[in-house]
């Protein structure tokens, strides 16, 4: 058993293990060459949805803003003392949607 551990600890064994890992990583890099075309195609497909998605989020933000305005107006008209807190939360929601887009 001591002989086996001494062999593994030797410089030759360390170099051989390193060479095997290097060979495996090089082979993996060559195998990934065909997958790059698929990744590039997927990237272009996803990026084509970015502009319509941004416009959709802006539209949702506008609807949320209108609903928030109506709710704040209703609270203000009824004399609710919690109006400023409600206005700040709805305004914050609209700002979040715009920044997230």
pLDDT of residue 34: 63
Using a pLDDT cut of 90, give the percent of the chain over it.
0
pLDDT of residue 26: 65
Distances (CA, A) of 37 to 26, 40, 49, 59, 74: 19, 5, 19, 35, 56
**Per-residue confidence at 2, pLDDT binned at 50, 70, 90?**
low
pLDDT of residue 60: 84
Mean pLDDT confidence for 28-48: 72
What is the b/e burial string over 9-32, where b = at least 16 CB atoms within 10 angstroms of the residue's CB?
eeeeeeeeeeeeeeeeeeeeeeee
Q: Which residue in the block uniquely carries the two structure tokens 């790059």?
A: 36
């Amino acid at each position: 058993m001591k002989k086996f551990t001494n062999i593994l600890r030797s410089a030759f064994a360390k170099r051989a293990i390193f060479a095997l890992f290097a060979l495996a990583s090089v082979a993996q890099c060559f195998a990934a060459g065909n997958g790059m075309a698929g990744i590039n195609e997927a990237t272009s497909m996803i990026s084509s949805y970015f502009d319509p998605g941004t416009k959709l989020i802006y539209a949702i933000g506008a609807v949320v803003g209108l609903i928030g305005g109506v709710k704040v107006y209703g609270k203000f008209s009824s004399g609710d003392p919690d109006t400023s807190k409600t206005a700040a939360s709805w305004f914050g929601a609209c700002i979040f949607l715009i920044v997230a887009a």
